[in-house]
Amino acid sequence: MSLIVGEESRRRVFEDLSFYKGSIKVRYDDVAHQYFRVAGDGTLVLLDGATTVVHIVDKSQALIPWAVKKGAEKLLRIVPRRETASGRIMLPEMPFADFEVLVNDAKGAHKEHLDDAADLGKQAHAYIESQIKFEMGRITTMPPMPKDDRVLSCIQAAFEWMDRHRVIWRATERKVMSRELDACGTLDGIAYVSSCDNKFCCRRQFENELSLVDWKSANGLYTTFLYQTAFYVHATVEEFPSLNFQHRFIVKLGKEDGSFASWHCEAEDQELDFNGFLHCLDLTRNQREAKLRMDAREDEQKDYEKLLKFEARQAEKLKDCGKVGYQGVRKTLPVCVDGKPCEKCMSIWRSKHDG
């Protein structure tokens, strides 16, 4: 199910894209990281993004203990302490309210770490992209090297991977769109890659075979990366059927030691991983439709409850409109409640006019 975007989104600043020889126009919102297909009447239709789609897979089993750990580490770091004469580290006496402030501060540690990691990854990706563009001749000067040692470690790891696989780049940071699935994404790189000497990475020897490369600065490699990159291959080949991808490399860049770890997927893995993406896409759309349906029912229920309250108020008014000083001297019936008489005013009117 596609979502139609209203007038408010037309005021955003978009990057205009075209696919399939210009037959499909797409606009990309870099701030919200959203893709919109331009319909024939100019309406913007929100498309599913590959990264958002694979996030439907629950990673909480690993992330919740990690978040708790980060909160505990920060609490231990910020809690006051004192050293006794014997050298023991003790907690000072403090009001409970002060301790509560520390706990509330510590519980957001995982979010601080995620924000920092996202910024680190963004810096590393940007410099690696510039290096690839420089190698491809698309830019003539390189930006300054980042100053964060962790970013430098990621860049060092990427260069090490490139050297070992004798990479020849063909594209970087390329937007892709599947007309079949009405979905988009941004792949990191397309290159001709040769096998390295690590048999656990490259199980067979090959030279200059077309590959998709995806950089990851996360602490781990997740199966959702397989689904995501399989979509990138599918969407690229859907638009350019002559391309024959033989490999997908998902490269985790070490933030501390400049090392890399990679998942190397061969062509025979594509179908299985792409099916994983399709399952994620189906569930994403099913969940969205279910939420819209339930939201609509909640709105109906709220409207119904408002109607019941209105009718109850009207019923009370029809008993006594609350008007003070009504004498009932006019010959016409009172019309005190939406053109109708309340019982009290009608009783007063009858006392004046009956008999």
Give the tens place of pLDDT for each residue, 172-188. Answer: 999 999 999 999 999 99
pLDDT at 4: 46
Which residue from 220, 214, 223 is spatially nearest to 275, judged by alpha carbons?
223
- 348 shares a domain with 237: no
For residue 1, pLDDT beyond 50: no
For residue 158, pLDDT beyond 90: yes
pLDDT tens string 218-264: 777 889 999 999 999 999 999 999 999 999 999 998 877 777 888 99
- 229 shares a domain with 158: yes
Q: What global pTM score does this model have?
A: 0.78
Region 272-284 average pLDDT: 98
Region 314-340 average pLDDT: 90
What is the overall mean pLDDT for the chain? Answer: 89
- 275 shares a domain with 172: yes
pLDDT at 2: 43
pLDDT tens string 113-124: 666 667 788 889
What is d(CA 333, CA 315) in angstroms, rounded to the nearest whole number?
19
* Proportion of the chain above pLDDT 70, given as a percent: 94
With H, G, I as helix, E, B as strand and everything else as coil, classify residue 49: strand
Which of 35-44, 62-71, 133-142 is predicted with the least confidence, judged by mean pLDDT? Answer: 62-71
- 163 shares a domain with 283: yes
Around Cβ 148, how many Cβ atoms within 10 Å? Answer: 14
304 occurs within a structural domain: no
Tally of domains in the chain = 3
Q: Which carries the bigger pLDDT value, residue 71 or residue 354?
A: 71
Alpha-helical segments (H) within 22-180: 50-54, 60-78, 96-106, 109-135, 149-165
- Residue 83 burial (C-beta neighbours within 10 Å; 0-12, 13-18, 19+): exposed
What is d(CA 272, CA 12) in angstroms, rounded to the nearest whole number?
38
What's 267's domain CATH number? 3.40.1350.10
94 occurs within a structural domain: no
Binned at pLDDT 50, 70 and 90, residue 50 comes out as very high
pLDDT at 347: 93
- 202 shares a domain with 155: yes
- Residue 208 phi/psi, 5-degree rounding, is 50, 55
Which of 189-198, 234-243, 331-340 is predicted with the least confidence, judged by mean pLDDT? Answer: 331-340
pLDDT at 241: 97
pLDDT at 11: 58
- 352 shares a domain with 280: no
For residue 288, pLDDT beyond 90: yes
- 327 shares a domain with 246: no
Q: Which carries the bigger pLDDT value, residue 3 or residue 161?
A: 161
Q: Tell me which residue range forms the domain holding 342.
A: 320-355
